[in-house]
Structure 1
Amino acid sequence: MTTATLDKEELRELVADALDVELEELTDDAHYVETLGVDSLMGLEILVQLEKRFGVKISEEEFGQITNFGQTFNLLNAKISHV
């Protein structure tokens, strides 16, 4: 049995595409709302894309606590490692 690994740059591309922002803007620390102007609908789009692409379930509560890409990566990585 192999453990799934998460490619950070692949994830960055997926999130940048969902948010319609340039890859360079989506740094690990760029705040989704304050820096990138993400609204609740865009956040929901990220959530749907992550669940569809990686086959994990992320609650709205869990996702609501995420404020930047680095946190998104950490949460998804933890979810994938428990699959």
Structure 2
Amino acid sequence: MSNVVLDMDELRTTVADVLDVDESELTDEADFVNEVGVDSLMAMEVMVVLERKYGVTLGEEELKQVTCLKKAHDLLADKLGLA
């Protein structure tokens, strides 16, 4: 598992693609709901893509904590043992 690299720019690109938004809108701290307009269905879609891409399982409580790209990155880093 240690061969997995969690690159913030790659994560930004992946999330922007799923949400169909410009990468420039996805700053590290941009609030997914209030600033990017993510609804619960879009959030679930992002998490499914991230789970598949990084081979992790994300619980419902963990998903609620992911309010911006930085928090998504931190959660994935923790799950992958990179934190």
1:5 and 2:5 matched: yes
Which structure 2 segments of 5+ residues have no match?
none
**CA distances 1:59-78 after superposition (whole Å, capped 9, x unpaired):** 11101111111100010011
Give the CA deviation at 1:38: 0.3
Are the aligned partners of 1:47 and 1:58 in contact in 2 as well (CA < 8 Å)? Answer: yes
Are the aligned partners of 1:51 and 1:58 in contact in 2 as well (CA < 8 Å)? Answer: yes
Overall identity of the aligned pairs, in %:
46
Give the CA deviation at 1:2: 4.1
Give the CA deviation at 1:5: 2.4
TM-score normalized by the length of structure 1: 0.91
Which residue in 1 is equivalent to 2:23? 23
TM-score normalized by the length of structure 2: 0.91
CA RMSD, Structure 1 to Structure 2 (Å): 1.5
Which structure 1 segments of 5+ residues have no match?
none
Letter in 2 for 1:43: A
Which residue in 2 is equivalent to 1:63? 63
Runs of 4+ in structure 1 over 4 Å off: none
